[in-house]
């Protein structure tokens, strides 16, 4: 048995959607357990008094990176079938800026806004509504953005291919960075807590 | 790891105005237990990362075959006879659009030509570069050149290196331009041909092309509602590509 058992895109139909639903619910559950369904938690990240977002996200990245690396090493995962999104430099930088403004303003990202809405937080419902309105607006405005959308294509970039290192080296560097950051974040939070006197 | 687990309870209590307490600071036994778990998980990640380094990179890139390596010429000849050595421009376009996993599109022309114009997602490798470029066995390599000759020669080099999934674009960039960027449906086409053309036209528009109907003196853009979908300006949108191809055509194969 070699994962992925089905390809997520066209052709897999119902099976792909079922897998996506299960993974999505699990993802939402993990986000809620981590407390990220609360805009306060994300705001805490931006004010530097609660680095949960940083730690949760890097935990997920490290887990996924080690998982993909070892599963493919053990022949359980066909890494070449794992979809790597392509890079379009300028449009993605612009999209990132828009996304960032929305994230700071709402204190929720698309994933956590769904979690917040699902647990009945009204700000979550508002953000989901805004997100869907944005999607609609983008679709309607697409003819105007079409050319920019396709500009500066760079194809699929990965850190190993960009830096000419093996996936194992890239993953080890990532893990080292993450562990250092976890330790630093814990220390920072303890200090902020003691000093902040909240 | 991180301060992730067990924070849900804190986050749900949103009534007060106080800030969410810093999760790193958890006095008492619970905090100590959590810290121990975090350390355990961090240690596991470190061990896995170091083990990956030690295990080396099987990476499975096919090393260039040593000079004089034997090539099963008969098998290669059969592949060519069965027409399994090349792809058409429309097939390649569909692969690129559908993000065929492991697809590598390789332009074997010179760097200047590549800089002037190349197919989406393509990388530039000289024929010499092809002989030593690391290629994983699970990758599908499609080579193209202006016409098709150099790409076909590159196909042989890669097959000789033992790489299985190699194809070349049969008609090269010319074929891409005539079949994908500017496909034309003859005015007297059969219904079957028209149906097929609808698919090609969709691909063409995806790549910013302008499908046309009628091979007359003044070709008109496809007259169907789908053609009204967003499309790059036909005058300067594909102007760069068209100019590049004009230069290609002038030079010949």
DSSP state of B63: P
Chain A neighbors of B97, CB-CB under 8 A: none
Question: A41 touching B, CB under 8 A?
Answer: yes
Query: ∠ at Cα A114 (A112, A120), nearest 5°?
Result: 105
Cβ-defined contact of B22 to A37 (cutoff 8 Å): no
Which of A37, A63, A80 minimises the CB distance to B136?
A: A80
Length of chain A: 198
Would you state the pLDDT for residue A97?
A: 96
Would you state the pLDDT for residue A7?
A: 58
Which of B5, B42, B59 minimises the CB distance to A33?
A: B5
Q: At what angle do helices A52-73 and A167-196 cross, to 10 degrees?
A: 160
pLDDT tens digits for chain B (253 residues)? 344 444 444 444 444 344 444 454 555 777 788 888 988 999 999 999 999 888 865 544 444 444 445 677 888 888 888 888 899 999 999 999 888 888 999 999 988 889 888 998 899 999 888 888 888 878 899 999 998 899 999 999 898 888 889 999 998 998 998 888 888 888 777 888 888 888 888 888 888 888 887 754 444 444 443 433 333 333 444 455 556 555 555 544 3
Q: Which of residues 90-109 of A touch B (CB under 8 A)?
A: none
Cβ-defined contact of A55 to B2 (cutoff 8 Å): yes
Residue B28: strand pairing partners: none
Question: A88 touching B, CB under 8 A?
Answer: no
Q: Which of residues 159-178 of A touch B (CB under 8 A)?
A: 166-169, 171-172, 174-176, 178
Report residue B195 CA to chain centroid gap: 27
List the single range of A7-16, A19-28, A185-194, B71-80 with lowest mean pLDDT.
A7-16
Would you state the pLDDT for residue B249?
A: 53
Band (pLDDT 50/70/90 cuts) for residue A2 is: low
Would you state the pLDDT for residue B95?
A: 92
Which of A52, A80, A143 minimises the CB distance to B4?
A: A52
Chain A neighbors of B231, CB-CB under 8 A: 146
Helix, strand, coil distribution of chain A in percent, nearest 5: 75, 5, 25
In chain A, % of residues over pLDDT 70:
90
Cβ-defined contact of A38 to B21 (cutoff 8 Å): no
- How many CB atoms are located within 10 Å of the residue B192 CB? 8
Would you state the pLDDT for residue B67?
A: 47
Structure tokens belonging to residue B117 = 């114009």
Average pLDDT over residues A134-143: 93
Phi-psi region of A15 (alpha: psi -120 to 50; beta: other; left: phi over 0): alpha
Q: How far is B124 from chain A (nearest CA, A)?
A: 13
How far apart CA A59 and CA A65 sit, in angstroms, is 10
Cβ-defined contact of A69 to B52 (cutoff 8 Å): yes
Would you state the pLDDT for residue A67?
A: 93
Would you state the pLDDT for residue B253?
A: 39
How far apart CA A176 and CA B233 sit, in angstroms, is 49
Nearest alpha carbon to residue B232 among A138, A91, A149: A149
Would you state the pLDDT for residue A87?
A: 85
Chain A neighbors of B232, CB-CB under 8 A: 146-147, 150
Cis-peptide into A8, omega within 30 deg: no
Chain A neighbors of B19, CB-CB under 8 A: 40, 44, 49-50, 196, 198
pTM for this model (two decimals): 0.54
Structure tokens belonging to residue A177 = 């960075």
Which of B2, B10, B52 minimises the CB distance to A59?
A: B2
Mutating which of A3, A4, A38, A139 best tests the B interface, going by the most B Cβ atoms within 10 A? Answer: A38
CA distances from B77 to A161, B71, B167 (A): 34, 11, 14
| A to B CB pairs, distance under 8 Å | 160
How far apart CA B190 and CA B160 sit, in angstroms, is 43
Q: What residue in A sits closest to B206 (Cα-Cα)?
A: A150
Q: Is A134 a residue whose pLDDT tops 90?
A: yes
User: Which residue shows structure tokens 């008969």?
Assistant: B74
Residue A23 main-chain phi, psi, to 5 deg? -65, -40
A182, B42 contact by CB (below 8 A): yes
Q: How high is the ipTM of this complex?
A: 0.79
Nearest alpha carbon to residue A7 among A82, A84, A117, A111: A82
Question: B23 touching A, CB under 8 A?
Answer: yes
How far apart CA B214 and CA B183 sit, in angstroms, is 10
Q: How far is A86 from chain B (nearest CA, A)?
A: 9
Would you state the pLDDT for residue B83?
A: 84
Would you state the pLDDT for residue B68?
A: 47
| Torsion angle, alpha carbons of B183, B188, B190, B193, to 10 | 0
Would you state the pLDDT for residue B116?
A: 87
How far apart CA B201 and CA B180 sit, in angstroms, is 8
Cβ-defined contact of B22 to A192 (cutoff 8 Å): yes
State whether residue B46 is helix, strand or coil.
Answer: helix
B95, B87 contact by CB (below 8 A): yes
Nearest alpha carbon to residue B154 among B175, B122, B129: B129
Q: Is A177 a residue whose pLDDT tops 80?
A: yes
Ordered DSSP codes for B179-214: IIIS-EE-TT--HHHHHHHHHHHHHHHHTT---EE-
State the Rg of chain A over Cα: 19
Query: ∠ at Cα B43 (A181, B40), nearest 5°?
Result: 105
How far apart CA B200 and CA B203 sit, in angstroms, is 5
Which of A59, A66, A172 minimises the CB distance to B4?
A: A59
């Amino acid at each position: 048995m070699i994962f992925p058992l089905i390809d997520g895109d066209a052709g897999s139909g119902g099976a792909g959607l079922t897998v996506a639903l299960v993974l999505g619910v699990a993802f939402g559950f993990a986000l809620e357990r981590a407390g990220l369904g609360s805009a306060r938690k994300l705001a805490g990240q931006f004010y530097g008094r609660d680095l949960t977002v940083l730690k949760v996200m890097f935990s997920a990245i490290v887990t996924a990176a080690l998982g993909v690396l070892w599963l493919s090493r053990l022949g359980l995962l066909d890494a070449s079938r794992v979809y790597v999104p392509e890079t379009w430099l300028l449009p993605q930088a612009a999209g990132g800026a828009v996304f960032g403004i929305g994230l700071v303003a709402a204190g929720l990202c698309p994933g956590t806004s769904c979690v917040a809405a699902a647990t009945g937080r009204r700000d979550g419902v508002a953000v989901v509504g805004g997100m869907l309105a944005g999607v609609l607006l983008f679709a309607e405005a697409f003819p105007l953005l079409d050319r920019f959308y396709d500009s500066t294509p760079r194809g699929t970039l990965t850190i190993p291919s960009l830096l000419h290192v093996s996936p194992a080296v890239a993953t080890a560097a990532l893990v080292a960075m993450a562990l250092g950051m976890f330790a630093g974040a814990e220390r920072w939070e303890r200090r902020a807590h003691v000093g902040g006197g909240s | 790891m991180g301060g992730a687990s067990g924070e849900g309870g804190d986050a749900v209590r949103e009534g007060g105005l106080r800030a969410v307490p810093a999760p790193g600071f958890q006095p008492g036994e619970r905090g100590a237990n959590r810290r121990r778990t975090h350390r355990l998980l961090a240690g596991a990640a470190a061990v896995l990362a170091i083990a990956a380094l030690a295990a080396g990179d099987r990476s499975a890139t096919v090393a260039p075959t040593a000079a004089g390596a034997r090539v099963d010429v008969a098998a290669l000849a059969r592949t060519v006879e069965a027409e399994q050595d090349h792809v058409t421009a429309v097939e390649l376009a569909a692969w690129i659009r559908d993000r065929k996993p492991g697809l590598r599109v390789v332009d074997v022309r010179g760097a200047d030509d590549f800089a002037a114009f190349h197919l989406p997602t393509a990388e530039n490798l000289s024929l010499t570069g092809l002989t030593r470029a690391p290629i994983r066995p699970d990758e599908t390599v499609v080579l193209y050149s202006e016409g098709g000759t150099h790409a076909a020669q590159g196909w042989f080099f890669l097959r000789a290196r033992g790489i299985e999934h190699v194809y070349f674009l049969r008609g090269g960039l010319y074929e891409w331009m005539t079949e994908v960027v500017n496909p034309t449906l003859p005015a007297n086409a059969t219904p079957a041909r028209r149906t097929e053309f609808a698919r090609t036209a969709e691909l063409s528009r995806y790549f910013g092309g302008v499908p046309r109907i009628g091979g007359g003196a003044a070709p008109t853009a496809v007259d169907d509602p789908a053609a009204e979908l967003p499309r790059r300006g036909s005058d300067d949108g594909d102007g760069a590509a068209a100019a590049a191809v004009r230069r290609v055509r002038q030079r010949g194969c």
